Amino acid sequence: MAALMAALICVATMIIKIPSPLKGYLNLGDGFVLVAGWILSPAYGVAAAGLGSALADIFSGYATYAPATFVIKGLMALIAFFGVKMLRKPLGKLPSQILSGLTAEIVMVLGYFVFEGFLYGFAPSVVNIPANAIQGVAGLILGVVLIKVLEKVGLGDKLKNKPSQLSGGQMQRVA
């Protein structure tokens, strides 16, 4: 399941690329990064989000960004996982997904600001904050829609609570 999510993240990141001012690009991969955090265990979520996103950078000619992307997107999945785990009982499913996703997207915006600050200087890096924030909002909306679709067709609960049928029953969500 983690490999499938990594592939989906890579494709979603590569399929629509809108160039941003400082040699980066906006994409729809964040929605799948959040879903990976919500449905996989922390280790698998980090691996799927980090690898899928970093591979998209490499395949798209943005190899300079790949190491930072691996860390940032992995952190996003981790935040999504633990945010839902901590907030689900007091707030409910949807609010916990929205808040954990929002927190993860804020980390993404700040992460790329810091990375680009060291790469290009912090003053020029400010120009990408609005573009990354727009990507974050789009990713959050897409992630919530995707998880709701998975839940509607009955896959959400299977992926969260039972061994995966796709991996021979060997992988199980810990939370």
What are the CA-CA distances from residue 105 to residues 44, 82, 133, 140, 173 (Å)? 19, 14, 8, 7, 23
Quick check: 164 pLDDT over 60? Answer: no
Other Cβ atoms closer than 10 A to 20: 19
Is residue 73's pLDDT more than 90?
yes
pLDDT band at 124 (very low <50, low <70, confident <90, very high): very high
Average pLDDT, the chain: 89
d(CA 132, CA 105): 9
What would the DSSP string read from start to end of 127-164? GGHHHHHHHHHHHHHHHHHHHHHHHHTTHHHHHHHS--
Please indicate whether residue 57 or residue 18 has the higher confidence score (pLDDT).
57
- Lowest-confidence region among 17-21, 37-41, 83-87, 145-149: 17-21
Mean pLDDT score, 129-155: 92
Q: Which of 53, 72, 69 is nearest to 13 (CA)?
A: 53
122 burial (CB, 10 Å; 0-12 / 13-18 / 19+) is: exposed
Which pLDDT does position 154 carry in this prediction?
A: 81
